[in-house]
Amino acid sequence: MKQDSRVLTSTSSGVTINDLIPSSTYCCLSNLPTGLLDYLNDLPDSIRKSLVFRQIFESVIAESTAQDEPGAPPIIVINEIDDEPTPPWEFFYSNKLWYHKDVPPPDYNKLVGCDCIGECNPTSTTCVCLRRQKNLWPDGMQSGFGFSYDENGILKNWDETIVECNDLCQCMGKCRNRVVQQGRKVQVNIVKTEEKGWGIFAGERMEAGTFLGIYSGELITEAIGESRRYMLYNEYGRTYLFDLQGNNYVVDAFHVGNFTRFLNHSCAPNCWMKNVVINEHTKRKCVLALFTLEPVEENQELHFSYFGSLDDVRVCTSIIPRGRIEVREDIVNGKCYCGAPNCIGTLFPHIIRDNQDSGDEGGDEAEVLDGERHNEGGEEMGGEGDRMADEGRETGAGNDMQMDT
Ligand SMILES: C[S@@+](CC[C@H](N)C(=O)[O-])C[C@H]1O[C@@H](n2cnc3c(N)ncnc32)[C@H](O)[C@@H]1O
């Protein structure tokens, strides 16, 4: 979509720019189709427990994948452990974020696109998207980095929120600054494990920095996530809540999600979630995108850490955070079976940082990441972009499945 690089407020036909937000960009949770799921779950056990059910499951994933990420290899379901044909079919398969009614939709009036012709140039001095990206880096415009990805779409800069080109940019779809929005390009499989339920395994060799998929699901407010849903999933003994790292929003992949909802925890993770801003003017409503942290071999399990920061992994070469760990008594907080030599033995520990009292909720990581919280009026990311310079630098993106209080 071609737009002026400043902000548009209305079109000549009187339609506001926000009316033009494509359905691929904004999915409202109240429009979530549930018919197919209800139908399938009402089928007799003879079908639901048969291998036909697995084929239906794989076709539903294939159909959704074809719509959202054309060209992505099919996802195969493999179970050599028992006779369960598929994971519990309790969710609608989707690669999108479905906005709860309490979460404001993307605001195109505030979103700014670049004017670049063809592919954005990582040395450009005029590309608005590059400027917004650089303003997140420590030296602002002086930073020597270009975009976060190399020319093959491999993530090169792990330190900051990624700002991709968006629907209002003039650059082409194959611009190197459009990786997450193009979808998965590599093969992943859903595989039953012995002790951790279902998990995700690499279907091919992958190099470090390969994009795998976004953590899709319901985009809800922290208040909803923390109150009702936390309690509910604690009862189930499984949770799919993922905190947008102190940004006041949470992604819940229980009822809607894609293959990433099956990623298990490891104390020595080979993947990590990065915050990526695409069609939002504020970095608070980013998407969580999964990338490989290191080269991964075919058939290796893909996993990330449900807690801790990237610095914990990179600096300490261990997910054990610098601080004390208290084991929580919650039902979801079962024993960790990741098998890593540095395994701390528990899934959702309460981490007490060295400089914290045990009563200090939220963690210092959230404080560091959430520059916007200390920057009244600085919520907007678009426009001059310079505002982002005040937002504070991420010292390492933090994972936070929402059990880490
Ligand atoms: C986001 S789900 C992951 C997918 C899950 N395995 C399934 O079958 O749906 C999180 C749940 O998976 C299980 N899990 C994940 N990592 C684990 C680990 N390292 N050890 C034991 N259980 C694990 C726990 O039940 C946890 O609440």
User: For every one of its 405 residues, what pLDDT tens digit does the chain have, with 9 covering 90 and above?
Assistant: 433 433 444 455 677 777 778 877 899 999 998 888 888 889 999 999 999 999 999 999 999 999 889 889 999 999 999 999 999 998 999 999 999 999 999 998 999 999 999 999 999 999 999 988 888 776 655 555 689 999 999 999 888 899 999 999 999 888 999 999 999 999 999 999 999 999 999 999 999 999 999 999 999 998 888 777 877 777 676 778 888 766 789 999 999 999 999 999 998 999 999 999 999 988 888 999 999 999 999 999 999 998 877 777 665 445 555 556 666 666 667 789 999 988 888 887 776 666 554 333 333 322 222 233 223 233 333 333 222 222 333 333 456 665 332
Question: What ipTM describes this predicted complex?
Answer: 0.99
For ligand 1, mutation pick of 347, 348, 402 (most atoms within 8 Å of CB) = 347
Is residue 9 domain-resident? Answer: no
Is residue 7 domain-resident? Answer: no
Task: Give the residue from 280, 368, 347 showing the smallest Cα distance to 104.
Answer: 280
The enclosing domain of 297 has a CATH number of 2.170.270.10
The answer, yes or no, to whether any atom of ligand 1 lies below 6 A from the CB of 303, is no
The answer, yes or no, to whether any atom of ligand 1 lies below 6 A from the CB of 65, is no
Ligand 1 centroid – CA 232 distance (Å): 16
Which domain range does residue 164 map to?
17-391
Ligand 1 centroid – CA 79 distance (Å): 16
Is residue 12 domain-resident? Answer: no
Q: What distance in Å separates the CA atoms of residue 396 and residue 400, rounded to the nearest whole number?
A: 12
Q: How many domains does the chain have?
A: 1
Is residue 404 domain-resident? Answer: no
Q: What distance in Å separates the CA atoms of residue 184 and residue 176, rounded to the nearest whole number?
A: 15
Secondary-structure percent of the chain, ordered helix, strand, coil, rounded to 5: 25, 20, 60
Is residue 41 domain-resident? Answer: yes
CB 165 within 8 A of CB 182: no
Is residue 398 domain-resident? Answer: no
User: Which SS3 state, helix, strand or coil, does residue 284 take?
Assistant: helix
| 198-202 vs 301-304, strand pairing mode | antiparallel
Write down the pTM of the prediction.
0.84
Tokens of 45: 């056990």
DSSP state for residue 403 in the 8-state scheme: T
Is residue 366 domain-resident? Answer: yes
Is residue 329 domain-resident? Answer: yes
Tokens of 51: 């291998």
Q: CB burial class (10 A; 0-12, 13-18, 19+) of residue 360?
A: exposed
